[in-house]
Chain A
């Protein structure tokens, strides 16, 4: 079974600086997707960025980028020029690329326990 581990329960960053959130995962599959979701106090889970395992190029979305190391099964999130609005819980998630209906993967996301990010003004 796949697992996702976020080893940093809490992180803090100064406004305008850069912070990196760590995520490691365990899987025997070769094709899969990795995600970072943001959950502000409103509870709404918001997709931040997505990485396809078969793509070597790291995904980027404006100030957000990932460092995807497939061999090391590592998927860290870098937030540049941190803003007060970035303060939230961040969850790393894994999803199999191939969804099957024979008792195998059903396409649900497997989440880490999250990292609470604080941004200091």
Chain B
């Protein structure tokens, strides 16, 4: 697609429920990143995928968070047993590849998650 697409745009859920957030990167971009932006904070790295390599999960805050990327394209971020502190905007970004730091990340508009 022309840009990075994320859905849903907004999600309100009850504490303890599971949620799935979807990211559709730019066609041909092999690198995909998930970030979390809490109110008044910068962006916190969560996880990233590069092609068919094992993902870098070093930023995931707990084992309730997981992500997968099917067919090297669409990615889903899953949060199990949501807690109120999970409320944030979840941003996805993609780039041509991670082989060079020169590759620019293009971001989606994010999914705002509110846990009641």
Interface residues of A (CB under 8 A from B): 4, 6, 31-33, 35, 37, 42-47, 50, 52, 91, 95-99, 101, 105-114
Partner of B101, one of A47, A97, A114: A97
**Cβ–Cβ contact B33 & A108, under 8 A:** yes
Residue-wise interface mask of B (34-69) relative to A, using a CB-CB cutoff of 8 A (1 in contact, 0 not):
010000111101001010010010110000000000
Interfacial chain A residues near B58, Cβ < 8 Å? 106
CB of B61 to closest CB in A, whole Å: 15
Q: B74 at interface (Cβ–Cβ under 8 A)? A: no
A95 and B109 form a contact (CB under 8 A): no
- In the complex, besides A43-B91, A91-B42, A106-B56, 17 extra interface pairs with C-beta distance below 8 angstroms are A4-B42, A35-B104, A37-B107, A43-B112, A44-B109, A91-B43, A95-B101, A99-B99, A106-B48, A106-B58, A106-B98, A107-B31, A108-B33, A108-B48, A108-B59, A111-B35, A111-B43
Chain B neighbourhood of A32, CB < 8 A: 101
CA distance A32 to B48 in the complex (A): 19
Asked if B102 is at the interface (CB within 8 A of a chain A CB), the reply is yes
The answer for the CA separation of A101 and B110 in the assembled complex, in Å, is 27
Name the CB-closest residue of A to B106.
A47
Which B residues are closer than 8 A to A by beta carbons?
Answer: 31, 33, 35, 40-43, 45, 48, 50, 53, 56, 58-59, 89, 91, 93, 95, 98-110, 112
| Known A-B contacts A33-B101, A47-B104, A50-B104; A101 and B43 likewise in contact (beta carbons under 8 Å) | no
User: Is B48 in contact with A43, judged by CB distance below 8 angstroms?
Assistant: no
* Minimum distance in angstroms from A96 CB to a CB of chain B: 5
Q: Please report the C-alpha to C-alpha distance between residue A31 and residue B53 in the assembled complex, in whole angstroms.
A: 25
Which A residues touch B31, using CB under 8 A? Answer: 107
